[in-house]
Structure 1
Amino acid sequence: MTHPTRPHRNFYGRLKGKHLKKSQEGYLAEDLDALSPGPVSWDDNPDRTPLDLDALFGGKDVWLEVGFGGGEHVIHQAASNPDVGIIGCEPYINGVAMLLGKVRRADVDNLRIHPGDVRDMFDVLPEASISKAFLLYPDPWPKARHHRRRFVTPEHLEPLARVLKPGSEFRVATDIPDYVRQTLEEVPRHGFAWMAEGPEDWRTPWEDWLSTRYEQKALREGRTPHYLTFRKL
């Protein structure tokens, strides 16, 4: 059988911190496999067979969070919206372990976790299968020569647009003015409309927003959060 060719993908950023707590090592060993959305990696799914989201979530609408950090927001959304299924992607294993602890305490059953690159997830998500997506305080890669590493580039936005349903919502939160600039330049080029009608629309958090540790750090350091909402055309 001929398999698709694995693309060469550079990954930038940390995959693991200095240490994990014993409890977090236990979460990873005991809970992660059961919360997997399915065979996502190239080693487990060389044919890139699409995930069966109906079987995974019982026909619910599916949301996607890209880079969930410590998991505060994604667990909040899962607990607040039991009528949807949510997939969280995060390559930083310390963040994955933190979320697994939160899953135990929240006792949610509508959340699945991919501990890896969201680009691999895009490969196996069916076209027009995601109803809402979140990109919250992504790595800003502040140096100009590193801006191509940001999420808001064609390498990520093209497959994101493919998997989002028409009319679905894409939320971006960032405290970095230049990231706002690049987001507003690039996202509409890939089939999205910015929904703001006035300044309060990007200055005011969404009604169901839960402030994350990254936002709290930004506020302590005097940076201003921006809340950008796009609609997939």
Structure 2
Amino acid sequence: MSDTPKSAFDPNPPRRNFYGRRHGKTLRQSQKGYLAEDLGDLRPRGISLAENPARRPIDPAAIFGDDRPVWLEVGFGGGEHMVHMAATHPGIGIIGCEPFINGVAMLLGKIRAAGVGNVSVHPGDARDLMDVLPDASLSRAFLMYPDPWPKARHHRRRFVTPEHLLPLARVMRAGAEFRVATDIPDYVRQTLDEVPKAGFDLIGETGTPWDDWISTRYEQKALREGRVPHYVTFRRQG
């Protein structure tokens, strides 16, 4: 029997491991300034246990000040795609999750340069955010060039596993779009196998990007090294 998403908010999410880097090379002074000056105002409240010990659902409308559609980017890397989406779609609010602090600092610099105001930044694991989002609260989600975890014994760490996909399905509205971009064929295979089991319909898998796409540094590196990008689109059932 295939897994199915939980139908209601869970106030007691399971304890979990985190895999991956949180820090990289030493930050530049300007990046340290972005973190000190900008992150506090952009960070959504109520995600940590210290702020929300009862694990009550947060109100996405409180993040952006109105009931606009809310999108999520999981692992935004250097932030090119997230800032581009915010600038291209000013009527939405987009939350980005990224535990790698160097990537967070890069994003904050791009937010300053672009002057976008419809963004929120969680400098941590996307699962922590999904723990406290209400059911059916997201209108779109992005997984852009995720960590491939290429060794077979590490495939369970990939985002496209039930541990991540079932909570994602819970917080996405019926008909909401889930986009995945990767240059790793085996990641495509696992994505096509696992995402439908979590409550999504496959809409398309192609080598042509979406109309509002911006090429990121990860994609450009893949192309330089001869790997072929794949763009996969799903729609939340319901």
TM-score category by the smaller chain?
Answer: over 0.9
Q: What is the alpha-carbon distance in structure 2 between the residues aligned to residue 168 and residue 193 of structure 1?
A: 10
Confirm or deny: 8 A CA contact 1:6 1:42 kept in the other structure. no
Which TM-score applies when normalising by structure 1?
0.95
Q: What is the alpha-carbon distance in structure 1 between the residues aligned to residue 134 and residue 234 of structure 2?
A: 21
| 2:234 counterpart residue number | 230
Q: What is the alpha-carbon distance in structure 2 between the residues aligned to residue 9 and residue 72 of structure 1?
A: 29
| 1:204 counterpart residue number | 208
Q: Which of 147, 170, 192 lines up with 1:162 in the alignment?
A: 170
| 2:36 counterpart residue number | 29
Cα deviation code 1:75-124 (max 9, x no counterpart): 00001111000000000000000000111111111100000000100011
Q: 1:59 to 1:75 in 2, by over 3 A?
A: same
Shift of 1:5: 4.9
Q: What is the alpha-carbon distance in structure 2 between the residues aligned to residue 43 and residue 12 of structure 1?
A: 22
Q: What is the alpha-carbon distance in structure 2 between the residues aligned to residue 48 and residue 8 of structure 1?
A: 13
Larger RCO: Structure 1 or Structure 2 (Cα < 8 Å, ≥ 6 residues apart)? Answer: 2
Task: Give structure 1 stretches of 5+ with no counterpart.
Answer: none
Q: What is the alpha-carbon distance in structure 2 between the residues aligned to residue 133 and residue 6 of structure 1?
A: 21
| 1:56 counterpart residue number | 63
Confirm or deny: 8 A CA contact 2:12 2:55 kept in the other structure. no
Q: What is the alpha-carbon distance in structure 2 between the residues aligned to residue 19 and residue 56 of structure 1?
A: 31
Identity between Structure 1 and Structure 2 (%): 69
- AA matched with 1:52: D
1:13-28 matches, within 5 Å, as 13-28=20-35
Q: Which of 99, 102, 120 lines up with 2:107 in the alignment?
A: 99
Which TM-score applies when normalising by structure 2?
0.93
- 1:101 alignment partner, SS class: helix
Task: Give structure 2 stretches of 5+ with no counterpart.
Answer: 1-10
Shift of 1:18: 2.1
Of the structure 1 ranges 46-55 and 145-154, higher mean CA displacement relative to structure 2 is found in 46-55
Q: What is the alpha-carbon distance in structure 1 between the residues aligned to residue 190 and residue 13 of structure 2?
A: 29
Query: Cα RMSD over matched residues?
Result: 1.0
| 1:144 counterpart residue number | 152
Q: What is the alpha-carbon distance in structure 2 between the residues aligned to residue 80 and residue 50 of structure 1?
A: 29
Shift of 1:157: 0.3
Shift of 1:6: 6.1
